[in-house]
Amino acid sequence: MGEVILTMKDIDKSFPGVHALDHVNFEVKRGEVHALMGENGAGKSTLMKVLTGIYQKDSGSITYKGQETEFHNTKEAQDAGVVIVHQELNMVGDLTVAQNIFIGREPKKGFTIDDKKMVEDSKKLFKELNIEINPKEKMNNLTVGKQQMCEIAKAISHKAEVIIFDEPSAALTEKEIADLFEIIRDLRKKGLGIVYISHRMDEIKTITDRVTVMRDGGYVGTLITADSTKEDIINMMVGRVIYEDPKEHSMVAPDAPVVLKVENLNAGKMVQNVSFELRKGEILGFSGLMGAGRTETARALFGADPKQSGKISIMGKDGKLHEVTINTPQDAVKYGIGYLSEDRRRYGCVVQKSVTENTTLATMEEFTSGIFINKSKEKEVSERYVKELATKTPNCEQLVVNLSGGNQQKVVIAKWLTRDSEILIFDEPTRGIDVGAKNEIYKLMNRLAAEGKSIIMISSEMTEVLRMSDRIIVMCEGKITGNIDISEATQEHIMNKATRNID
């Protein structure tokens, strides 16, 4: 670690009804990776937005390279070498990768944009970073992870001296995270100051040198990562002991009826002859490496992607299985299936609408009598879920775009819960969710299962799969490679199935 490159002192910032930053101190040195931690809504993103000129502070001071500084917009910050990779993706889907990276500063040839140079420069950049992406590809065609890597490449291309990564890993695969860490180590060696925001403790331990913890908009303290334990950090974050309530396996009754039966489902390349059964009150974990075909299976089942073949049967009111045709998400919803997508920004919520509107979106018909929307019932329901999920928002009229990343996710979860779906597919339900809220979501899932709902939970976190599931389906390269009862499940057993395509 070198000299201090950036100091934020006594930073204060309020939004209507929210004191988002309360005299916060923060400092970054050259050649360090500095973690910023705190629960959802603690103020991490806001602090970094104040730094990079997206928001203006109400009071306090910022010193950058020895001089008191205030950036009025992101461009000013970028030009000075302070760049941010946002928690939410900011790319333009219809443009190519290269166009996105050089947007607003395109190389020119005479009066026209030099497309060839733009593509060449992007190629160089990706090569330097060891990333395989075609610069001519449309942004929309990339996976969320790849889009995130483009954001990172774009940030680095700005000749930055301070780079802020706001939850960069939430949508990345293991391999992409490993690549990102290589990039970060390299940047650190070159003397850049790096801010790293993440809810994943193991990442904090692996990549960061110091940790600053925030709580409720306030500064709690700064620790040397190597000298502190996970518990030290969590205690500072939550200021209370988190009560973990372990599940008693298996909760599902041995004679519970099958509510969903999938036979020989084929869809695209990533879903090959997938067959499984889901029983009433069961939490069925879907484990596997990224790209194993779990999300694709869920999307095909939900009617979000076309299927080539396969039979889907659902338990009807008569308690018997009936074959159904699901061609669209509307069909799926009609049959009582809810899907909490892993890509919540794209499919999960309408950010320009309020918390109430989003919560009741999937279920409008229940709140409408004739053409009148029952506003008071809507409000009552959304208020209940805000309370149950401890969603941090001043009130239910708040636009979702103004909530912190983790709290936006809670709104999407609430949306499906109000729909009263009998079968719920949770795709990476706790991604980007802080430790405390994670527990709330686990409790909620257990409660839903106990009430007789059936849950498919896709998760890349092994501890989550082992803690929550009654049974675990393992997928690898588009096929089911394991179907393991929780009493026999171990990490090794699952990993074995997840990496070898034989049973």
Which residues of the shown chain bind ligand ATP in the complex (CB under 6 A)? 15, 18, 20, 38, 40-46, 87, 392-393, 402-407
With CB under 5 A as the contact rule, the residue among 30, 41, 45, 418 that binds Mg ion is 45
Instruction: Note whether 260 and 281 are within 8 A (CB).
Output: no
Instruction: Note whether 321 and 261 are within 8 A (CB).
Output: yes
Quote the least distance from Cβ 47 to ligand ATP, whole Å.
Answer: 7
* CA 37/CA 155 separation, integer angstroms: 22
Task: Work out the angle at residue 95's Cα, subtended by the Cα atoms of residues 91 and 97, and round it to the nearest 5 degrees.
Answer: 70
Using the rule CB under 5 A, is 295 a contact of Mg ion?
A: no
Using the rule CB under 5 A, is 460 a contact of Mg ion?
A: no
* CA 86/CA 174 separation, integer angstroms: 20
Q: Which helix (H) or strand (E) holds 174?
A: helix 174-189
Using the rule CB under 5 A, is 469 a contact of Mg ion?
A: no
Q: Which among 121-129, 173-181, 333-341, 403-411 is the span making contact with Mg ion, rule CB under 5 A? A: 403-411
The SS3 of residue 11 is: strand
Residue 41 interacting entry, from Mg ion, ligand ATP, none, C-beta within 5 to 8 Å by type: ligand ATP
* CA 391/CA 408 separation, integer angstroms: 8
Q: Is the link from the previous residue into 250 a cis peptide, with omega within 30 of 0?
A: yes
Using the rule CB under 5 A, is 398 a contact of Mg ion?
A: no
Residue 272 interacting entry, from ligand ATP, Mg ion, none, C-beta within 5 to 8 Å by type: none
Quote the least distance from Cβ 241 to ligand ATP, whole Å.
Answer: 20
Quote the least distance from Cβ 405 to ligand ATP, whole Å.
Answer: 3
* CA 224/CA 211 separation, integer angstroms: 6
The SS3 of residue 467 is: helix
Residue 281 interacting entry, from ligand ATP, Mg ion, none, C-beta within 5 to 8 Å by type: none
Quote the least distance from Cβ 463 to Mg ion, whole Å.
Answer: 23
Quote the least distance from Cβ 43 to ligand ATP, whole Å.
Answer: 4
Number of residues that bind Mg ion (CB under 5 A): 4
* CA 101/CA 163 separation, integer angstroms: 16
Query: How far is the CA of 442 from the CAs of 205, 245, 284, 437, in angstroms?
Result: 24, 9, 14, 9
Quote the least distance from Cβ 266 to ligand ATP, whole Å.
Answer: 38
Beta carbon nearer to Mg ion, 272 or 404? 404
Beta carbon nearer to Mg ion, 168 or 405? 405
Which residue ranges make up the site for Mg ion (CB under 5 A)?
45, 87, 404-405
